[in-house]
Chain A
Amino acid sequence: METSTQTHGQTNVGSVERWLSVVAGSALAAYGIRRRSIAGFVVAGIGGALVHRGATGRCMVYESLGITTADEQDDSRISVPYGKGIRVEKSMTIDASAADLYTFWRDFENLPRFMKNLESVKVTGGNRSHWIAKGPLGSNAEWDAEIINEIPNELIGWRSLEGSDINNAGSVHFTPATGGRGTVVKVVLRYDPPGGVAGAAISRLLGEDPEYQVQEDLRRFKRIIETGELATIDGQSTGRN
């Protein structure tokens, strides 16, 4: 991908850096942009900022993952059984009723429509389903999951079963927002830090930055529900094609 910075020397590198420094206080820009390979043009332009994130990104990430050995969920309905590991929690407000959102999500076969790194989910009967996540270089990670908690229109909790490539558990909560302003959808995910082939797959599944992945999955969910499609520029006409 050709970039302004490659073709125009320092000027744009400078401006990207300036913009990054604008938000460097929160380290969020360096953090966010670093995770996003689709932004080759930004990454290529960051130059010094990449060094900067090297210095500061690590611990930010570590913190944001909320790595913990304690299970702070004392609500027994919530399925986060693998107390050790990585925990991610993200919320998004979506303009739809809790019932509609719950119904869409409860049909697990819908999940790959907005969870970018899921290849497929097949309901195998009862509360069970089989999940396939896309791994690097065509490899896949697979697991069977079961629903362990469910309150219609409020929450769904699931966890993986014995023999999974990745031990994981998750829950999604649907809570009406104030003033009839849609529904707050909160996802809590927890998984064992993986190793080996499965490790590679999971780091792709949840990315280097699980918070970011969950956030973007939720954003896609919101867009499908609110607009019926996903905003895209992939395949548009430009002066590069």
Chain B
Amino acid sequence: MRAVCWWGKGEVRVVDTPDPGILNPRDAIVRVTLTAICGSDLHLYNGFVPTMMRGDILGHEFMGEVVEVGSDVKKLKVGDRVVVPFAIACGACFFCRKGMTSLCDNSNPNAWMLDALNGYASSAAFGYSHMYGGYSGGQSEYVRVPYADVNPFKIPNGLPDEKVLFLTDIFPTGYMAAENCGIEPGDTVAVWGAGPVGFFSAASARLLGAERVIVIDRIPERLRLVQEQCKAETINYEDVDDAFETLKEMTGGRGPDRCIDAVGMEGHGHTIDARLDKVKQLMKLQFDRAHSLRQALHACRKGGTVSIPGVYAGFIDKIPMGVAFAKGLTLKMGQTHVHKYVRPLLERIERGEIDPSVVITHRATLEDAPDLYQTFRDKEDDCIKCVMQP
């Protein structure tokens, strides 16, 4: 089959590989009909995630049709149309049974690596480095899916692929980010980043009753999309002296009630702390650039909530802990427990409350992946979200 493979920092290749086979009795094989590139893939592409190997098949946002099931698969059938969450869950452990599927104890064959790094291992994910299990991903014609009665979710015919594909990650990610905010009537929610995750955070904040949504980014077409689709107000942080002051003014001197950092560790910034971060990152002294996180902590209302769907890893310097403490903030974060959200969000799509496909700007085939990765990384060509058909 054809598959998009990580080939080194800044390089992906589309190569011929064997078709995947069933390895465990609870596995299934899915023929991929649509797959996407995620902001999280850019962390791999940009070489920020260790334990990638040349030839690893990328992709954790994919859907398709079941073509084979293992001997212990009970509910899933050949021919079922499914979306598959990016986090791999066993369905049986303490964490899975509590709905915290991205913290599954059992799915990661290399759990020892994350144990070593973080003390306790979280779940595996598709196409996301060997410390996250080393599973081949879904930017390919076929993909092996473990625990097939737990991970794939059946999707009724009738809804097009483009409307349901993002149930695999970014819609639930934005939704969980908004849910973690604990939005109350009258709340103003500020979202850093107008990428796909920022978009779904803003859209979900609306679904969950936020009265105002303010989105901060520097890319005009992304800001335009959240204005149009989420009735968001926007701040282009390159046009203002200080996004903090602007936010404070916009919220009557009180600050946004809830803040969502949908940027993560590759954030960009032009203030002193951001430049220092960049230098340190280049000099390998520090892993993350955390400008947006600092700003969110700073800007948030007293007693408010800062929710962090953007990915961070390692140590980060100069997190204003004193600010968070003084203001009595609540912090929530983590990988999305996608499984918990697939069905309720599918229902919202079926009821027409949201059309996730509006973020798609680029439609292509797997063969175009090398160009698309670059276009998406560099935010060229008004690119917001790329989908690929095998």
Contacts and interface: CB of A to CB of B under 8 A. Distances in A.
Size range of the interface on A?
A: 35 or more
Given A8-B9, A233-B133, A234-B23, A2 B55 contact: yes
B325 interface: no
B9 A237 contact: no
Contact of B56 (A14, A229, A238): A238
Contacts of A7: 8, 54
Interface residues of B, number: 64
A212 interface: yes
B52 A237 contact: no
A41 B93 contact: no
Interface stretch (A54-62, A132-140, A218-226): A218-226
Interface in B1-28: 1, 3, 5, 7-9, 13, 15, 17-21, 23-26
Interface string A1-28: 1111001100110111111001100001
Given A22-B287, A237-B17, A39 B116 contact: no
Interface in B87-130: 90-94, 97, 105-113, 115-119, 124, 130
Interface stretch (B43-51, B237-245, B377-385): B43-51
Nearest to B20: A237
Contacts of A237: 1, 3, 17-21, 57, 136, 142, 144
Interface of B: 1, 3, 5, 7-9, 13, 15, 17-21, 23-26, 47-57, 72, 90-94, 97, 105-113, 115-119, 124, 130, 133-136, 142, 144, 146-147, 284, 287, 313-315
24 contacts: A2-B53, A2-B54, A2-B55, A11-B47, A12-B47, A36-B112, A42-B113, A226-B92, A226-B105, A226-B106, A227-B92, A228-B26, A231-B107, A231-B109, A233-B23, A233-B135, A234-B23, A235-B21, A237-B57, A237-B136, A238-B55, A239-B5, A239-B13, A239-B15
Interface of A: 1-4, 7-8, 11-12, 14-19, 22-23, 28-29, 31-33, 36, 39, 41-42, 45, 93, 95, 181-182, 212, 215-216, 219, 222-223, 226-241
